[in-house]
Structure formats: structure tokens, C-alpha cells
């Protein structure tokens, strides 16, 4: 008699393809489930009405016109860094050096504003733009060069470059500190505002938002429709295939990281010239690391990154409102954000895989 084989209750099968609207439907459902879980956690842990907590988060982001524009500014900077690291990630070059590339871009901008502060803004701004792009590109090319020709570990290399950039900024903060012994540079060119981005309709944030919007469109078309974007995809798929069809892999690696670093340098420019008007070791605010998550969650689609950037910044901005209205510290908002991100990450499993349950066995007569 043949021994009966018991099949497992279910097995996991990789999906062949899934329509974009179904994929996003799964992700949106995951977000709704996350908000429901957050509501349950809020009720059980704090005893507060979750609707009131969510209302406070919303008020913290959209309560006033100023809060709204600060939200948009923070989304723009995070989005800028996210689209910056995307070309490298598409090439499977794991650039976690966004922090350092932002810092050197910000340092180059501040140096121009301080050392060339006597120039009129019309002459100073182009110099600042070139300097920030060049500094960020250089910071990206250095690890790319060693990866291309000596196959060094790009994750460790770019990570270590962050610490070098931080110490460079710390050194020059002491050199340029005002007043001496203050440990900070202070507002640069506060009286003349030389090197400051002009306001548009008394809105100092709008120019940053418009610049990032233009860069987002550029990166989307660059990756999707340009020859360079095609080469990035081929190299990311297989370096052997890329070499076989005549692509110079070393050139693509260095060119792509130069672009990635340059875009991070622009983020530093926007922070110094557009909003902060000074430079500190913490000016990047951890965006170089957060951008990795934003880019991955959006599947390296620059337009989808707008949504993921909004979600993260929205929760961060709401943290202060929770603290002031309910006496909950900012860590509680981090818990709520963590649940949302966990559900979004988990949803990617169901986007790429499906569960096939075994069929009920018929009883033999």
C-alpha cells in the first residue's frame, strides 16, 4: 500500500507579473492596516482617543500656512536626496554616503558665501551652485573609483566617507565660528543676505520645492529614456553582460556616482542657501540614511518617492504636535511611524509573491 503524502497547508510562489494598480492597491491596503494597528496601540497603551491623536498629527503638518510650507520644504529635501541615491542603487552600487555628500555640498556653499561674500548675489549664486555640485560629485567619485578599479566594498567606503565629511565640517565650523568660542558659524551674511536664495512671493521655501520638482522629472527621464539610464540598468543586472555588449562598466560606475553625489551636493546647497543660511555637522538631519528607505519603498521610481517622502515627513512633523497636545514624547510618533513602515515593507512580499493553499482532499469511497 502506497504511503499517503501530506502536502503543506500552503506554499509560496513568486508572481510572474502584477498590474501596477493592483500592486499599489496592496500597498495602500497595508497603510490602512497600519493606521488601524496604530489606533489599537494608541488606545491600549495611552488610553487616548486615536482620532484625536491623528488629528494632532494632521494639525502639526497642516495646521497653519507656515507648517504646510515647512512640511513641503522637508519633503523636498528628503526627495532630493532620495532621487540622488537612486541611480547608484539602480546600478546595484549601494551608496550609503548621502550624508557625507550633502555635508560637503553644504560646506562648499557656505565657503563661497563666507569667502566671496562681497560679491553680489547674482554673481555669487552661480559660483555656489558649481561649487556644491563639484564637491558632492567628488565625494561620490572617490568610492566609485576604488570600486571600479579595485572592487572595494562600496557600502563600507561610502559609510566611512560620511565621517570624514562630518569632521571636515566640524573643523571649518571652528575656523569660521562667530563669535570666537561660540562653536557655531551663525547666520552667514545676515545683514547683506548675499548668497541667499531669493524668496518667491515672500515664501523662502518655494524655490527649493521648484528646484527639487525639476530634478525629480529630470532623474525620471534620465533613468527611463536616456542611453545612460539604459547602461545603468544593464550594469545593475549583470556586469558580465554589460562588458559583453561593449559597455565600459568602470566609466558607468564613476559617471553614475558623480551624478548621485552631485545631486546630494545640490541638497546641501538648498539647505544652506535656501533655508538655514548656515552650516553645521547635523544639517543633513539623517536624510542620507532615510533616503535609502524612501528609494527602496518606492521601488526606485522618482515619482513614487513623493508619496513615501510625504509619509515619513508627515509623521515626523506630527511628532511635535503629539508632544505638545498630549504630553507624549517624540518617540511615540516614531513607534507609529515604525508600524506603518513595517506594514509597507511587509506588503512588498505580497506584491512579489502569493500564497497557494492546498486543495481539500476528497474522501475515497
Domain ranges across the chain: 86-305
Mean pLDDT value of segment 64-81: 94
pLDDT at 306: 95
And the C-alpha cell for 55?
Answer: 488629528
Q: Name the residue with cell 554616503.
A: 97
pLDDT at 362: 55
Written as one string, the DSSP assignment of 264-311 is HHHHHHIIIIIII-S--TTTTTTHHHHHHHHHHHTTT-TTHHHHHHHH
Mean pLDDT value of segment 329-344: 81
Q: Name the residue with cell 491623536.
A: 53
230 compared with 57, residue with greater pLDDT: 230
- Cβ pair 60, 321 in contact under 8 A: yes
pLDDT at 299: 86
What pLDDT, in 10s, does the model give residues 180-204? Answer: 877 889 999 999 999 999 998 889 8
Q: Residue 248: CA atoms inside 13 Å, Cβ hemisphere, count? A: 6
E-assigned strands of the chain? Answer: 10-14, 353-357
pLDDT at 3: 58
CA separation for the pair 278, 271 (Å, rounded)? 8
CA separation for the pair 13, 220 (Å, rounded)? 31
> Nearest Cα to 271, choosing from 293, 255, 295, 287?
287
Rounded percentage of the chain residues whose pLDDT exceeds 90: 62
Mean pLDDT value of segment 197-215: 93
pLDDT at 360 exceeding the cut of 70: no
And the C-alpha cell for 184?
Answer: 557655531
Q: Quickly count helices (H) and strands (E) in the chain.
A: 13, 2
What pLDDT, in 10s, does the model give residues 128-186? Answer: 999 999 999 999 999 999 999 999 999 999 999 999 999 999 999 999 998 887 788 99
Strands 10-14 and 353-357: antiparallel
CA separation for the pair 347, 26 (Å, rounded)? 6
**Residue 146: C-alpha distances to residues 84, 97, 151, 292 (Å):** 20, 14, 6, 22
pLDDT at 254: 97
User: CA 98, 299, 92 angle in degrees (round to 5)?
Assistant: 55
pLDDT at 43: 87
pLDDT at 232: 97
User: Using 50, 70 and 90 to split pLDDT, how confident is the model at 361?
Assistant: low
Maximum pairwise Cα distance, the chain: 97
Mean pLDDT value of segment 260-280: 97
Mean pLDDT value of segment 24-34: 88
Q: Name the residue with cell 550633502.
A: 102
pLDDT at 338: 84
319 compared with 99, residue with greater pLDDT: 99
pLDDT at 73 exceeding the cut of 70: yes
pLDDT at 5: 58
Buried-exposed string 35-55: b where 16+ CB fall within 10 A, e elsewhere: eeebbeebeeeeebebeebbe
pLDDT at 1 exceeding the cut of 60: no
- State the chain's mean pLDDT as an integer: 90
Q: Give the global pTM.
A: 0.90
Amino acid at each position: 500500500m502506497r504511503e499517503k503524502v501530506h502536502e503543506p497547508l500552503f506554499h509560496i510562489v513568486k508572481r510572474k507579473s502584477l498590474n501596477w494598480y493592483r500592486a499599489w492597491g496592496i500597498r495602500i491596503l497595508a497603510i490602512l492596516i497600519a493606521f488601524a494597528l496604530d489606533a489599537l496601540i494608541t488606545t491600549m497603551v495611552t488610553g487616548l482617543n486615536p482620532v484625536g491623536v491623528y488629528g494632532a498629527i494632521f494639525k502639526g503638518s497642516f495646521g497653519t500656512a507656515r507648517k504646510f510650507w515647512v512640511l513641503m520644504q522637508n519633503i523636498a529635501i528628503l526627495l532630493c536626496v532620495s532621487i540622488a541615491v537612486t541611480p547608484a542603487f539602480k546600478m546595484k552600487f549601494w551608496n550609503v554616503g548621502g550624508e557625507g555628500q550633502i555635508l560637503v555640498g553644504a560646506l562648499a556653499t557656505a565657503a563661497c558665501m563666507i569667502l566671496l561674500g562681497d560679491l553680489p548675489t547674482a554673481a555669487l549664486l552661480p559660483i555656489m551652485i558649481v561649487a556644491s555640485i563639484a564637491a558632492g560629485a567628488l565625494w561620490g567619485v572617490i568610492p566609485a573609483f576604488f570600486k571600479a578599479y579595485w572592487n572595494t566594498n562600496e557600502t563600507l567606503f561610502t559609510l566611512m566617507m560620511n565621517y570624514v565629511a562630518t569632521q571636515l565640517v566640524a573643523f571649518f565650523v571652528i575656523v569660521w565660528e562667530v563669535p570666537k568660542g561660540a562653536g557655531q558659524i551663525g547666520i552667514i551674511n545676515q545683514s547683506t543676505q548675499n548668497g541667499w536664495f531669493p524668496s518667491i512671493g515672500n515664501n523662502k521655501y518655494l524655490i527649493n520645492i521648484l528646484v527639487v520638482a525639476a530634478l525629480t522629472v529630470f532623474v525620471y527621464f534620465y533613468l527611463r529614456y536616456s542611453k545612460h539610464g539604459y547602461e545603468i540598468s544593464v550594469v545593475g543586472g549583470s556586469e558580465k553582460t554589460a562588458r559583453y555588449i561593449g559597455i565600459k562598466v568602470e566609466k558607468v560606475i564613476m559617471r553614475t556616482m558623480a551624478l548621485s553625489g552631485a545631486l546630494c551636493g545640490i541638497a546641501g546647497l538648498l539647505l544652506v542657501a535656501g533655508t538655514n543660511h548656515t552650516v553645521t555637522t547635523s544639517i543633513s538631519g539623517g536624510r542620507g540614511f532615510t533616503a535609502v528607505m524612501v528609494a527602496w519603498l518606492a521601488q526606485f521610481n522618482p515619482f513614487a518617492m513623493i508619496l513615501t517622502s510625504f509619509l515619513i515627513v508627515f509623521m515626523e512633523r506630527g511628532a511635535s504636535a503629539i508632544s505638545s497636545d498630549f504630553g507624549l514624547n517624540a518617540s511615540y510618533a516614531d513607534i507609529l511611524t515604525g508600524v506603518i513602515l513595517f506594514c509597507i515593507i511587509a506588503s512588498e512580499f505580497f506584491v512579489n509573491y502569493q500564497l497557494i493553499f492546498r486543495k481539500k482532499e476528497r474522501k475515497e469511497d
